[in-house]
Amino acid sequence: MSNNLQAPDLPPPPPKRRKAKASQVIPVVILVVSVIGALYFSGFFTDTSVSTPSVLTPTRDIVGTWKTTFSTKFNIATDWSTFGQLEDVGSENRTMTWTITATDQENTVRVQVEFSYSNRQLISDSGYTPDVSFMALTGIINGTQLTLTRADSGPIKQIGSVGVFTFTTHNMEGTWHDHWSGVYEQNVYTPTNGLKLVKQ
């Protein structure tokens, strides 16, 4: 009896895998990185939801009456004799009372400044235009910092803020620098952190 059994067919061997050449891979990697970089720098990956601007809120209650506990020296500079360049022409001592009231904006207050002066000493031809007691200022609060500002008034242009102060629950200190220009310039200022007030 003949045996017609045949050996089963073996599957063909798998095709040889070709190795990727560096000359093919590198351009693809560069292309992918370039596209991702372009999308990143164009803001594609940033959050596009609408955000509300942060409100600068006071960390402590600043509303109330603040007074200097002692007389403070204020230096006076004008450009009366040196047009275009401020020079010190004198000084005076001031005691101050600030009345701070709230507005409808949490980070903005009204600051009513009243002062009396003594020991005013000026050179002749100083050109000093005396400040008037009762100044209506606006205060901008950022945490524990109060920045005093004043709007321009007719030909008088305010240069920068009137002063920058830090405050705690009961104490405030900072630098007053009321610099303005009209026909001439004038700056009334204290030394750095030279003005100190206490809440009443």
Residue that is written with structure tokens 């001031």 in the block: 94
Looking at residue 87, its pLDDT comes to 96
Taking alpha carbons only, the member of 186, 179, 173 closest to residue 90 is 186
What sign does the CA torsion over 21, 27, 30, 36 have? Answer: negative
**Biggest CA pair distance of the chain:** 144
What is the average pLDDT across 5-12? 65
What are the tokens at 11?
């599957």
Mean pLDDT of the chain: 84
Q: Give the pLDDT band of residue 114 (cuts 50, 70, 90).
A: very high
160 Cβ neighbours under 8 A, 6+ residues apart: 177, 179
For residue 71, pLDDT beyond 80: yes
- Confidence at residue 52, expressed as pLDDT on a 0 to 100 scale: 42
The confidence band for 154, taking pLDDT boundaries of 50, 70 and 90, is confident
* Separation of alpha carbons 140 and 196, rounded Å: 18
To the question of pTM greater than 0.85 for the whole model, the response is no
Residue 83: the pLDDT is 87
Looking at residue 153, its pLDDT comes to 87
**Does the pLDDT value for residue 73 go beyond 60?**
yes
pLDDT the model gives residue 53: 46
What are the backbone angles phi and psi of residue 12, rounded to the nearest 5°?
-65, 150
Indicate the SS3 state at residue 47.
coil
pLDDT in the model for residue 68: 97
Average pLDDT over residues 14-28: 65
The pLDDT of 128-143, averaged and rounded, is: 94
Alpha-carbon span 63 to 121, nearest angstrom: 34
3-class secondary structure, 49? coil
CA dihedral 83, 91, 101, 106 (to 10 degrees): 60
Which H or E element spans position 29?
Answer: helix 22-41
